[in-house]
Structure 1
Amino acid sequence: MKLFVALLVVGLPALAAAHSWIVCTDYLENNGWYWDQAKCRGWPRAATYYNLRFGAFGTHIDNNYTWRLDNHPEERALCREPRDDDRRYTEETPMAAYFLGQEVVLTHPANNHVAESKCRWRNTMDWENLMFVVDGDDDPCCIDSPKLIQIMDMGVSPYGRELSDEVLATYPKPGFQNVPKFCEDPDDAMGTYNFTIPMDLQPGRHIFVWKWIRDPAVPPFTTCWEADVFATKAGRDAHYLATGRSTEDMWDFYKVHNIVDGVIMDPVDPSINEIITG
């Protein structure tokens, strides 16, 4: 019995670390390697209170797994913090703004939950990754609320003992486990998702909800936030300029850099190629 208790205690940190939440609701770099708060233009509810901007990426200020829906939906609210736009957002952690058709990038900490053949268990599951917009101005009661309108299935990451090292260690990936630098910091490494704002969404302020199920035996994880949706990029850009934020388009890390075997290679000078091959 003493041995069992000791093993249980040793295992608890690993179990407790397998939680996550959305840190940034409008990040400028898709499939990025390292978190940079300067690239974040929008934040979830109460981001200032939980020190999401200036705190170490992936940490939280209490032991309640801040953004997790860690009970049955009928026993705990879907959103950790109730809606109060004037109090939940600040100049340091402002609300995001989107435009119809925009590809939005979200960031989240890995919290040890990646099937990575180089440094972790191959069988770490990823079960469901969905984005919702809420029908109306009030928070949904629960994960099964009819007010939740699914706008995107962001896919699931590959996992399993039968998969090759190449599959498990190749990025970018769909789903939660898109964390290219996971092995450098399994707890706090940055992962990214992306989803698209539907063209038929009515412009205005909306509640958005992220839902992740890492294992069907575990209750969902959720994060809630608001965003102002504009009909055009020009309208969104005017709003961001008025609030002192960048209007730069999102870029993709893997399209900007030449990456070979997980290493960023120096760009090749075309004139050198001409000399060598001429």
Structure 2
Amino acid sequence: MKLFVALLAVGLPALAAAHSWIVCTDYLENNGWYWDEAKCRGWPRAATRYNLRFGKFGATNTYTHRLDHHPEERGLCKTSRDDDRSYDADTPMAAYYLGQKVVLPHPANNHVAESKCSYRAIVDTENLMFVVDGDEDPCCINSTKLIQIMDMGVSPYGRELSDEVLSTYPKPGFQNVPKFCEDPEDSMGTYNFTVPMDLQPGRHTFVWKWIRSPTVAPFTTCWEADVFATKAERDALYLATGRSTEDAWDFYQIHNIVDGVIMDPVDPSINEIITG
């Protein structure tokens, strides 16, 4: 019995602290290891008010927004829509183009099933992206004005899974946090979703919904973004506001990683000598 109580005590802090939010709404690195504020081009609503840009990544717990089990009793978003007050020069609104892959970083806040340093059965239940039909915030998570545009999958978890499965990245769902063991509370995870090709260009509200466990009410983050028909149109806005026009890159595609360590890139001239 004492052993059981001790193991339960180890697991409980991770579960109790499990909450999160979207920190950036247009990040330049997919599946990255460490948060870099310079790679963020767009921010969620009221980011300045909650110090998302200049505070420590993952530490602004007041930005968490968890819905009530009675959806009519709590608003869908942390703050009401007010585009003029929700964004400024330090935390500007994102801009997307049709077909763009958008990367969304979030803090882990202890919620990763990782065989090397955590409780193996920490669950991940639902990770969805919505766009709002109209210019006003929906009443609640069950509103018909929420149009689902992507299911971002769920992460593997469970006592029966191998160490290799639980510690191999990238992962689908919330627990895509490669450096979780270095900082279980504040390490960075990333999602990505694709802007639908049939979305009408214009300004839209986007909503992220995460259910970590069936017994816990959903978490949400809301933001606005100007959607353009083409990358060239989007790039014009970003250039005018001093932002990068690069497409997001994938961390695992531009690094040679062996046993979790970034290796030096191979010198192309050596390849020519060997194969020549």
TM-score by length of 2: 0.93
**Does the residue aligned with 2:172 lie in a helix, a strand or coil?**
coil
Partner AA of 1:146 in structure 2 = T
Stretches of structure 1 that go unaligned for 5 or more consecutive residues are 1-6
Alpha-carbon distance, 1:248 to partner: 1.1
- Residue aligning to 1:76: 74
Partner AA of 2:51 in structure 1 = N
Is 1:235 paired with 2:233?
yes
- Residue aligning to 1:3: none
Cα displacement string for residues 241-262 of structure 1 (whole angstroms, at most 9, x for unaligned residues): 1111111111110001011111
Is 1:177 paired with 2:183?
no
Give the conservation status (yes or no) of the 8 Å contact 1:126–1:215. Answer: yes
Q: What is the number of residues matched between the two proteins?
A: 270
- Residue aligning to 2:137: 139
Identity %: 84
Alpha-carbon distance, 1:71 to partner: 4.7
- Residue aligning to 2:92: 94
Find the aligned partners of 1:274 and 1:251 in 2 and give their Cα distance. 26
- Residue aligning to 1:4: none
Alpha-carbon distance, 1:99 to partner: 0.2
Give the conservation status (yes or no) of the 8 Å contact 1:129–1:213. Answer: yes
Find the aligned partners of 1:254 and 1:11 in 2 and give their Cα distance. 30
Give the conservation status (yes or no) of the 8 Å contact 2:152–2:191. Answer: yes
Find the aligned partners of 2:155 and 2:198 in 1 and give their Cα distance. 29
Select 1:108's aligned residue among 83, 100, 106.
106
Find the aligned partners of 1:250 and 1:237 in 2 and give their Cα distance. 13
**Does the residue aligned with 1:228 lie in a helix, a strand or coil?**
strand
Give the conservation status (yes or no) of the 8 Å contact 1:24–1:42. Answer: yes
**Does the residue aligned with 2:150 lie in a helix, a strand or coil?**
strand
Find the aligned partners of 1:237 and 1:222 in 2 and give their Cα distance. 28
Give the conservation status (yes or no) of the 8 Å contact 2:42–2:93. Answer: yes
Find the aligned partners of 1:151 and 1:11 in 2 and give their Cα distance. 34
Give the conservation status (yes or no) of the 8 Å contact 1:20–1:68. Answer: no
Find the aligned partners of 1:105 and 1:153 in 2 and give their Cα distance. 14
Structure-2 change in CA distance of 1:11 and 1:191 (3 Å): closer
Find the aligned partners of 1:61 and 1:176 in 2 and give their Cα distance. 17
Alpha-carbon distance, 1:74 to partner: 1.5
TM-score by length of 1: 0.92
Give the conservation status (yes or no) of the 8 Å contact 2:15–2:111. Answer: no
Give the conservation status (yes or no) of the 8 Å contact 1:21–1:68. Answer: no
**Does the residue aligned with 2:227 lie in a helix, a strand or coil?**
strand
Cα displacement string for residues 44-79 of structure 1 (whole angstroms, at most 9, x for unaligned residues): 0000010000100001164xx633325531111010
Find the aligned partners of 1:41 and 1:139 in 2 and give their Cα distance. 23
> What is the root-mean-square deviation in Å for CA atoms of aligned residues?
1.9
Find the aligned partners of 1:189 and 1:205 in 2 and give their Cα distance. 31
Select 1:188's aligned residue among 186, 189, 197.
186
- Residue aligning to 1:26: 26
Alpha-carbon distance, 1:10 to partner: 9.3
- Residue aligning to 2:3: none
- Residue aligning to 2:120: 122
Partner AA of 2:24 in structure 1 = C
Alpha-carbon distance, 1:214 to partner: 0.5
Structure-2 change in CA distance of 1:270 and 1:246 (3 Å): closer
- Residue aligning to 2:40: 40
Partner AA of 1:39 in structure 2 = K
Find the aligned partners of 2:118 and 2:61 in 1 and give their Cα distance. 26
Select 1:263's aligned residue among 247, 261, 264.
261
Cα displacement string for residues 4-60 of structure 1 (whole angstroms, at most 9, x for unaligned residues): xxx999987544420000000000000000000000000000000100001000011
- Residue aligning to 1:51: 51
Find the aligned partners of 1:276 and 1:101 in 2 and give their Cα distance. 40
